[in-house]
Amino acid sequence: MFEINGLNVYYGVIHALRDVSLTVSEGEIVTLIGSNGAGKTTTLRAISGITPIKSGEIRFLDKHIEKLKATKIVKMGISHVPEGRRIFPDMSVLENLQMGAYLRRDNAGVQEDLKKVYDRFPILEERKKQMAGTLSGGEQQMLAIGRALMARPKLLLLDEPSMGLSPIFVKQIFEIIKDINKTGTTVMLVEQNARMALSIANRAYILENGVITMSGDAKELADSDEVRKAYLGG
């Protein structure tokens, strides 16, 4: 369903991604793990058309998307929950969710999805009139995910959804991701919390200094010595 081939991204003279290739099949949760600065966020931003790429191809549903603008990519069905949540703090919770459905014209469908998001995150319905900046970190993460779901994506890109959250919220967020996947959305998950990410993913890629160094079944990787030493604390 989704494929990256030989992706190269530069920031000035820094070669941030080197020949990155990966695939995501329909219905999967695929995680991209690696340490800080490895290029995980860059990969997602390149997919979404925010960070320009030097070379390589990105295909989604058999169409090339590497030259498309961000708007078109969203329209095709890729939603991106950015690192640090990036909700609109001075807009209400409801307005944030409406922004997620910005490109949609099917009002009935949007209302239906709004209801689904409220069912999934009842706290958002309770706070729909509140400014999003007043929500707690965990609630903001829920809002960021809910906002992305409002586009009714086929592929959901999640960048560090557990960042800065308390352990209880971290568990909850991963349960939510599993559930979103079960209801038919393919997920690509970028995480520093490798243990949690590997526990819910089907497959995983490990990114180091802009290069994919390992890939495979998430369970197998979690059991491999190298991964345990480097990412799971022994």
Task: Report the interface residues with another protein, using CB under 8 A.
Answer: 48-50, 69-71, 74-75, 79-80, 82, 84, 86-91, 95, 98-100, 102-103, 147-148, 151
Q: Toward another protein, which CB reaches closer, 84 or 216?
A: 84
Q: Do 198 and 177 contact (CB within 8 A), yes or no?
A: no
Q: Toward another protein, which CB reaches closer, 37 or 216?
A: 37
Which residues does 174 contact at the CB level (< 8 Å), separation at least 6?
162, 196, 199, 200
DSSP assignment of 146-204 equals HHHHTT--SEEEEE-TTTT--HHHHHHHHHHHHHHHHTT-EEEEEES-HHHHHHH-SEE
Which of 177, 184, 182 lies closest to 199, judged by CA? Answer: 177
Q: How far is the CB of 230 from another protein (least distance, A)?
A: 26
Q: Toward another protein, which CB reaches closer, 6 or 52?
A: 52
Dist CA 11 CA 127 (whole Å):
40
Q: Toward another protein, which CB reaches closer, 7 or 110?
A: 110
The tokens of 42 are what? 């860059």
3 state DSSP class of 219: helix
3 state DSSP class of 31: strand
Q: Toward another protein, which CB reaches closer, 60 or 231?
A: 60
Q: How far is the CB of 142 from another protein (least distance, A)?
A: 16
Q: Toward another protein, which CB reaches closer, 104 or 219?
A: 104
Q: How far is the CB of 132 from another protein (least distance, A)?
A: 10
Dist CA 192 CA 163 (whole Å):
8
